[in-house]
Structures are given as structure tokens and as C-alpha cells.
Chain A
Amino acid sequence: MNLSGMSPGDTAWILAATALVLVMTPGLAFFYGGMVRAKSVLNMMMMSFITIGIVSFLWVAYGWAEAFGNGSSSIVGIIGWSHLGSEVNQLGSNGAVLTIPTLVFSAFQLMFAIITPALISGAIADRAKFMTWGIFVALWVTLVYFPVAHWVFDFGGTTSKGAGWLAALGVEDFAGGSAVHINAGAAGLALALVLGKRVGWKRDPMRPHNIPLVMIGAGLLWFGWFGFNAGSALAANGQSALAFMNTQVATAAGVLGWCLIEKLRDGKATSLGGASGAVAGLVAITPACAFIAPWAAILLGVLVGMVCAYTVGLKYKLGFDDSLDVVGVHMIGGIVGCLFIGFFGTAFTTSNIDGKTSFTWGVKGLFYGGGGTLLGHQAIGAFSVLAYSFTVTYILGWVLEKTIGFRVAEEVEIDGIDLGEHGETGYDWSTMGGTFGGRSTVSVGSGSAHMDEEVPA
């Protein structure tokens, strides 16, 4: 295989889409960072940033092979090194030969592998040891994300040999409602249970310290999500156009759905509600974006915005501290989106690049006369990923907590995890420009910042 069938248009779009998906993770850092208290904003944001570092490295080492290696297993790709450098002159293949280089496909998929564990961090805000979080991320992508990506996203080579078992079954998940969102949500639930509630949860007000930061984050997520969803067509064609339009309208409808519930229930539509509604809409349209019509995408967006405005309250009733609602938004939103395809999914046709041939995709759901088969497949896809992710994550989190410890000391949590785990504070609160009551101790290369001792300047 060489690059003779490469489409420069498709390749250019997926390169751009890859960068768009990357920006979702710093966007998530803002989204989450604004929602925690001022004393833990840096730790919250760093949990996302360190994930970019760790997963990029593991992907090039063995992650790509484990998720998309051309083996013969329906559970996992190839256990071994990725050998990514040897594929510079190859086209990617995922059920058929793609029109983009393998390295572009691989880079695109890497960004998905980064944001999925980063999403989990919201469930354990303010209280996870940073070193243990890093180790958790490395083990979690190895044991959970890479295999699950194979289940859902790997359609095998041109012969479908070694396709993931959910992909082979016919589960429709265009951009990762199950592999990314249900996966991260179930893992978040498991970790929230393992680590326990924050000190003072429900008693102390833990209101978001910076809503404008949350809005910036939601905006960046929305922007980057076009790459996530429309890029998942792995081409610039009618399918990516459908995914793009559906992403926009479902997200817009999510904002409206959440705000409507707030207005009716609480009396006022809030900024945090608008931002959360957008993310709920984005989550739900992720699996469905190329399988439903735009009018159905609006319906899905309103529905999920309204549903998630209620499910974020479940943690108070059930008593688990999923701090930033990874379960209420990502797990529930992912399930809603995956199952919705079973009802409103339908088939589409678009022309190939030659203008003469065309290709058709999608299966008819319950409301299009396709019976309950697709809905059954969607349920299997959603709940098998949920069960696997929850179980493995719970065991992994429990082992880490019992061995090296996952939760910080109570003192660190109360004083602020930014100071305890990073030796930094997010904001300079002093009104005198930081020179009043403090002293500069510039000591380059001394290793770490000293909190207690002061050296005269």
C-alpha cells in the first residue's frame, strides 16, 4: 500500500480536525477549572494537561498498536510496539482503505485517547494525589481505553479481520458516545466511589469559583467538537457535512433544553446551566451525528439538555460526590445519544469523490421501520462499555488507593490541593500587587519552591 490513493482534501481536513480535537482538552481544563473552588483550579487544569503528556507518549509506544493494530482479535489490536515511523508512506485503513495517511488517522485517534481519561478527572476534583492520577491515567488507557477503542472504532482491515466486537456486531457509534463518554462517565462514577466525598461535601458551599472560565471552556469544547464529530467521517464529504450540521443544532438545542428546565424549576436560567446544556448536547450527538437527520438532532439536543439538568442532581440523592457531574452529563448523555440512534437512526447516501459512484451508511431504527434490532445493538454497546469500564476502573482505583494512596491528606484538601500538590496558587489575592507581606526568594535551580523558609532578597 502506498499513498497513490490519497486525497489531499480529506487529509487536510483530518489534519485540521485533529488539532480541533486536541484543543478540546485544554478547553475541558478551563471548563472544569472554573467549576472548582479557587484553591484547586490549577490541580484541576493540570489533570488534563498531564494527560496530554502521558497518553501521547503511550500512544506512540504501544497504544496505537493496542487499539488499531491489524491483528485478528475482536477484543484488542496487537500487543506490542506501535512502530508508527514505519507507516509514513501508507494510507490508513479502517474497514476499507482510507484516503488519508495512516499517521493522520493515528494522530486523530490519539486525541480521542487523550480527552477520554481527562474527562474522568472532573469526578474526583480537589482530592486526588497528582502522582497517583498520572499512574492511573497510564494504566487506565492501557486496560480500558485502548481495548474499548478497538471494540468500537476498529472495523478491521479491508477484510474486516480483527474488527472490534461491537463494530462487527453493528453497534452505531460515530464519534464515541460509548467509547469516550459512557466510558469516562462510568470510570468517573467508580473513582468517585473509591475516593469518597470531599471534606465538607453538602455542608460547605462548593460553588464554582469562576463561571467565565467555564464559559470559555464550553466555547472551546463546542469549537473543537466539530473536529471530533465531523472529523470522524475520516473524509471531507457529505457524511462529514451531516455530522457537522447535527453537531451544531444538537448543541444549540441542548443549551435551550437545560435553560428551559432551570427557568421553570429554579426561576432563572443560569450561565452554568447554558454551558452545561451545550456540553450535554455535544455528548449526546457524538454517537448519533452521522446517523440521524438534523431535525432529529434538535430533538435529541433538547431532550438531553432537559434530562441532564435533572440527572446532575442524582448524586445528592444517591450520595456520591461526582464533583463536576461526569456521570450526570457524560455517562447519561452518552447513553441517551446511543439509544436515540435505535429509534431515530436511518440510512444516508452520498457520492464518492469521482461523482459517479456513491456510498450508503446507517441502519434504520425503530421509528423508520427497522424494528428493534438496532436499538438492541445500541443497548449492548452502551451497557457493555459501561459495565467493563466501571468494573476495571473500580478495581484499578481501589488497588492504587490501598497501595500508593489515591486521596490526598485531609490537611492538603482543606488548605488547597494547588498548594499541597503543586506548590502554587492560581490567583494572587493580595491587593498590593503581591509585594505586601511577602518576599521574593529567587533561587534558580534550587529544586522546589520553599513555602516555610524565606531567604532575604
Chain B
Amino acid sequence: MKLVTAVIKPFKLDDVKTALEAFGVHGMTVSEASGYGRQRGHTEVYRGAEYTVDLVPKVRLEVLVDDGDAADVIDVVVKAAQTGRIGDGKVWSVPVETVVRVRTGERGPEAL
């Protein structure tokens, strides 16, 4: 099993969710995140004083998938989240040792 994590632009969350559901992924964890990459931050002006805000609001989306699906899921996310502009985010996957469904105690791929 693999954990696919995507950090994307907040306004792309709906598109990514829809695309993942169409692909057959029916569960995910979404959290608000902040950070920056090549986009860097932005500046805000209050009464003429500039404030540099380094961290930009992002959404972090996590999906547990079977080994065979990981590459496809990554492709789906990238396609749905892409605007072509700087700050689109990143997607990566890592191996997962164990998954347990809390309600039933099922383990491994059955728990996905």
C-alpha cells in the first residue's frame, strides 16, 4: 500500500476531489496547510506599511491506495490540480506498512 500526499492550491480541491471520485477513490483526508516553494510569499499593505507573508495558504490531501493504483492516482491528482502557473504544488507517495480499519479491525488492502 502507498500513501499519496498532495499539496495543492486551495481552489483546485474540488476539481481534484471530483477527479479522484471518478477514478474510484472514495476516501481521503484533507487539511489546511501553509507553505511555500518557488512561489515564495506575498506582500500585504496596511496603512502604507508593507508586510511580507512568507507562507501561502495550501491544501494538503492524503489518500491511501493499493500499490498498483499509486501511479494512476498521482496522475489523476496532477492533471486535476494543474494550472501551469507557479505555486501549483507537489504530489508524492510513500510506502505504508500497515492499515487497519478501526470499526472492523480489517487489515491490509481490505481496510482501504
Tell me the B32-90 residues at the A interface (CB within 8 Å).
Answer: 44-49, 51-53
Please give, as numbers and ranges, the residues of chain B lying within 8 Å of A312 by CB-CB distance: 47-48
| Chain B, Cβ-Cβ closest to A310 | B48
Please give, as numbers and ranges, the residues of chain B lying within 8 Å of A276 by CB-CB distance: 47
Please give, as numbers and ranges, the residues of chain B lying within 8 Å of A325 by CB-CB distance: 47
A176 CB, nearest partner CB in chain B, Å: 24
Please give, as numbers and ranges, the residues of chain A lying within 8 Å of B47 by CB-CB distance: 272-273, 276, 309, 312-313, 325
- Contact indicator B48/A309 (Cβ below 8 Å): yes
- Contact indicator B48/A208 (Cβ below 8 Å): no
Tell me the bound Cα distance from A122 to B27 in angstroms.
50
Tell me the bound Cα distance from A312 to B46 in angstroms.
10
A194 CB, nearest partner CB in chain B, Å: 23
Q: Does A354 contact B (CB under 8 A)?
A: no
Neighbour of A266 across the interface among B48, B52, B53, CB < 8 A: B48
A234 CB, nearest partner CB in chain B, Å: 35
B55 CB, nearest partner CB in chain A, Å: 11
Please give, as numbers and ranges, the residues of chain B lying within 8 Å of A310 by CB-CB distance: 48
Q: Does A356 contact B (CB under 8 A)?
A: no
Please give, as numbers and ranges, the residues of chain B lying within 8 Å of A208 by CB-CB distance: 46
* 24 A-B contact pairs sorted by A residue (CB < 8 Å): A205-B51, A205-B52, A205-B53, A207-B44, A207-B46, A207-B51, A208-B46, A262-B45, A262-B48, A265-B48, A268-B45, A270-B46, A272-B46, A272-B47, A273-B47, A309-B47, A309-B48, A310-B48, A312-B47, A312-B48, A313-B48, A313-B49, A316-B49, A325-B47
Tell me the bound Cα distance from A309 to B49 in angstroms.
11
Task: Categorize the interface residue count of chain A.
Answer: 10 to 19
Excluding A205-B51, A207-B51, A270-B46, 13 further A-B contacts by CB distance (< 8 Å) are: A205-B52, A208-B46, A262-B48, A268-B45, A272-B46, A272-B47, A273-B47, A276-B47, A309-B47, A309-B48, A312-B47, A313-B47, A316-B49
User: Top 4 nearest A-B pairs by Cβ distance?
Assistant: A205-B51, A312-B47, A266-B45, A313-B48
B49 CB, nearest partner CB in chain A, Å: 7
Task: Categorize the interface residue count of chain B.
Answer: under 10
Q: Is the interface of B mostly helix, strand, loop or mixed?
A: strand
A274 CB, nearest partner CB in chain B, Å: 11
Q: In the complex, which of the residues A205, A309, A312 has the most CB atoms of chain B within 10 Å of its own CB atom? A: A205
Tell me the bound Cα distance from A316 to B47 in angstroms.
12
Tell me the bound Cα distance from A265 to B47 in angstroms.
11
Tell me the bound Cα distance from A270 to B48 in angstroms.
10
Tell me the bound Cα distance from A313 to B46 in angstroms.
10
Tell me the A263-286 residues at the B interface (CB within 8 Å).
Answer: 265-266, 268, 270, 272-273, 276
Tell me the bound Cα distance from A46 to B43 in angstroms.
31
Tell me the bound Cα distance from A309 to B48 in angstroms.
7
B95 CB, nearest partner CB in chain A, Å: 30
Tell me the bound Cα distance from A276 to B68 in angstroms.
59
Tell me the A5-38 residues at the B interface (CB within 8 Å).
Answer: none
A212 CB, nearest partner CB in chain B, Å: 14
| Chain A, Cβ-Cβ closest to B43 | A266
Tell me the bound Cα distance from A452 to B59 in angstroms.
35
Tell me the bound Cα distance from A50 to B102 in angstroms.
53
Please give, as numbers and ranges, the residues of chain B lying within 8 Å of A207 by CB-CB distance: 44, 46, 51
| Chain B, Cβ-Cβ closest to A273 | B47
Tell me the bound Cα distance from A428 to B28 in angstroms.
27
Tell me the bound Cα distance from A139 to B107 in angstroms.
73
| Chain A, Cβ-Cβ closest to B48 | A313
| Chain B, Cβ-Cβ closest to A268 | B45
| Chain A, Cβ-Cβ closest to B53 | A205
B36 CB, nearest partner CB in chain A, Å: 15
- Contact indicator A270/B53 (Cβ below 8 Å): no
B47 CB, nearest partner CB in chain A, Å: 5
| Chain B, Cβ-Cβ closest to A208 | B46
Q: In the complex, which of the residues B44, B46, B48 has the most CB atoms of chain A within 10 Å of its own CB atom? A: B48
Tell me the bound Cα distance from A312 to B49 in angstroms.
9
Tell me the bound Cα distance from A273 to B51 in angstroms.
15
Tell me the bound Cα distance from A208 to B49 in angstroms.
11
Tell me the bound Cα distance from A279 to B52 in angstroms.
27
Tell me the A256-310 residues at the B interface (CB within 8 Å).
Answer: 262, 265-266, 268, 270, 272-273, 276, 309-310
Tell me the bound Cα distance from A41 to B5 in angstroms.
37
Q: In the complex, which of the residues A265, A270, A310, A316 has the most CB atoms of chain B within 10 Å of its own CB atom? A: A270
Please give, as numbers and ranges, the residues of chain B lying within 8 Å of A205 by CB-CB distance: 51-53
B66 CB, nearest partner CB in chain A, Å: 31
Please give, as numbers and ranges, the residues of chain B lying within 8 Å of A272 by CB-CB distance: 46-47
A329 CB, nearest partner CB in chain B, Å: 9
Tell me the bound Cα distance from A265 to B51 in angstroms.
16
Tell me the bound Cα distance from A273 to B44 in angstroms.
13
Tell me the bound Cα distance from A3 to B5 in angstroms.
80
Please give, as numbers and ranges, the residues of chain B lying within 8 Å of A313 by CB-CB distance: 47-49
Tell me the bound Cα distance from A208 to B47 in angstroms.
10
Tell me the A174-225 residues at the B interface (CB within 8 Å).
Answer: 205, 207-208
